[in-house]
Amino acid sequence: MSTIAQRFAPDLAPPRASTAEVGDFFALLKPRVMSLVIFTALVGMVVVHPDVHPVIAAASLLLIAVGAGASGCLNMWWEADIDAVMTRTRTRPIPAGRVTREEALAFGVSLAVGSVLMLGLFANWLAAGLLAFTILFYVVIYSMGLKRLTAQNIVIGGAAGALPPVVAEAAVTGQVSLVGLVLFGIIFLWTPPHFWALALVKSEDYARAGIPMLPNVSGPDETRRQILLYSLILAPFGLLPVALGFGGLVYLAVAGLAGAAMLALSVKVYRVRDGQPAARAAMELFGFSILYVFLPFSALLAEHAFGFFRPVPGLPW
């Protein structure tokens, strides 16, 4: 028995066997980022109390997650050269040689196109358009453009990571409201201090890869100032859901404390500038910043999905 290729082109070398495991393809989707996307998108859905069938909502959530995974996969396809020289990323499937760039490209494009089309068919085309925009923004604007060009790369690129609640709201309501935009704003303002805290510690890694992260371009002192500025804006901005009436007492308490802690850790990063204590302060901020998104969004979920909502007294609405 022979294959078609062997029969019609006997001189053709057999294609190289893929050595990828299923887990390698899963790793291409950046599962940790995907879990954050699922969580923030779920909150974006629940907060607006949609009148939509749960099956449609669940399918939409899954497709938003797949779209985010496709973005991660295409990002790894494009940045394989950078990933290979950074200690944090050199064990990823492509630089480690377990998945070829061609395989990653085919996988990423299939998932991206499939998730957008299916979201359009299952939910609506506004949501599909927003998901397509999110994927294109992350892959083309951020990965191919900004990341290697400007120190503001993650500020603008952060928009892609902040869009899932907006896409989710559009999927279950057919529109985008102030609720989705405020959730977008919280994640958008959170992104710079989160990544710059890591960049302060890993600046040599980024420099080796030739990525103009803020600490390499403007120096660690300017980075610390910018981290503090963003945290100063983020802490009060995080309370906007209360002012708009979709954040209750639980949210006020959690977001207030989380904002204060984020601010306190940013002040510490700003003040402690030398040696190991400075690196420790930056890593503390990085670690807590992950919690910063999780805690207030969990409060919103508890209030709107599990009946913990109690309006904040004194508000006129």
Partner 1 sequence: MSVPTPPRSGWTPEELKRRRARSIAIGLALGFLVLMFYAVTIAKLGPQVLNRPL
Binding site for partner 1 (CB under 8 A): 1-3, 6, 14, 17-22, 25, 53, 55-56, 59, 62, 122
- Closest to partner 1 by CB, 36 vs 66, is 66
Least Å distance between CB 295 and partner 1? Answer: 32
Least Å distance between CB 217 and partner 1? Answer: 42
- Closest to partner 1 by CB, 2 vs 276, is 2
Least Å distance between CB 104 and partner 1? Answer: 14
Least Å distance between CB 215 and partner 1? Answer: 40
Least Å distance between CB 75 and partner 1? Answer: 21
- Closest to partner 1 by CB, 54 vs 307, is 54
Q: How far is CA 103 from CA 34, 91, 93, 126, 218, in A?
A: 20, 17, 11, 30, 37
Residue 307: partners with Cβ closer than 8 Å, 6 or more residues away: none
The token duo for 67 is 């779209």
- Closest to partner 1 by CB, 8 vs 306, is 8
- Closest to partner 1 by CB, 6 vs 91, is 6
Instruction: Give the span between the Cα atoms of 67 and 65, in whole angstroms.
Output: 5
Least Å distance between CB 96 and partner 1? Answer: 14
Least Å distance between CB 80 and partner 1? Answer: 20
- Closest to partner 1 by CB, 20 vs 86, is 20
**Cα dihedral across residues 41, 42, 48, 50: positive or negative:** positive
- Closest to partner 1 by CB, 22 vs 276, is 22
Least Å distance between CB 165 and partner 1? Answer: 22
**Alpha-helical runs (H) found in the chain:** 4-8, 22-28, 31-47, 54-78, 80-85, 101-122, 125-136, 153-162, 164-173, 178-201, 203-209, 214-217, 220-237, 240-243, 249-271, 275-305
Instruction: Give the span between the Cα atoms of 44 and 241, in whole angstroms.
Output: 12
Instruction: Give the span between the Cα atoms of 177 and 316, in whole angstroms.
Output: 20
Closest C-alpha to 157, from 171, 173, 139:
139
Q: How far is CA 33 from CA 110, 161, 236, 290, 307, in A?
A: 19, 9, 25, 11, 28
Instruction: Give the span between the Cα atoms of 290 and 272, in whole angstroms.
Output: 21
- Closest to partner 1 by CB, 11 vs 274, is 11
| Phi and psi at residue 250, to the nearest 5° | -60, -45
